[in-house]
Amino acid sequence: MRRRESAKTWKLADVGAFFKNSFSAILKGEFLLRLNVGRYFIHIVYTFVLLAVTIWISLMIDTTMAKVEKNKKELEELSIQNSQKTFDVVKLTKRSSVEEMLGTMGSKVKEAEKPATRLEK
């Protein structure tokens, strides 16, 4: 009866040896073989590949979404610049402002009083 009791009790050294053996098996690549799961190896590899592909696709989606957000901000900025330039062009094409600018520059050019004459060949 004492043998059964001693076989059931674990010592701290046994736990340490178990972790040491497990760690060395992981480094040598024998951990799955020691656990006797060799017949499930293809399933383990398949699961690993699926997880790796899922992580990779997630990273690609995050990168794409970051680019989309950056491009949205840039598009908004360009839209603001376009509106400002359109306003400036419309402001400068008014006849009164053109005459005023020409007058401040010292030009004698004025608005035409009669239509232009057409020269024929």
Give the pLDDT score at 63. 97
Confidence of residue 1 (pLDDT cuts 50, 70, 90): very low
- Domain ranges for the chain, please list them: 2-99
Tens of pLDDT, residue by residue over 4-61, are 555 567 777 888 888 888 888 888 888 777 778 878 888 989 999 999 999 999 999 9
Rounded to an integer, the average pLDDT of 65-78 is 97
Give the pLDDT score at 5. 52
d(CA 102, CA 108): 8
Q: How is the chain split among helix, strand and coil, in percent rounded to 5? A: 75, 0, 25
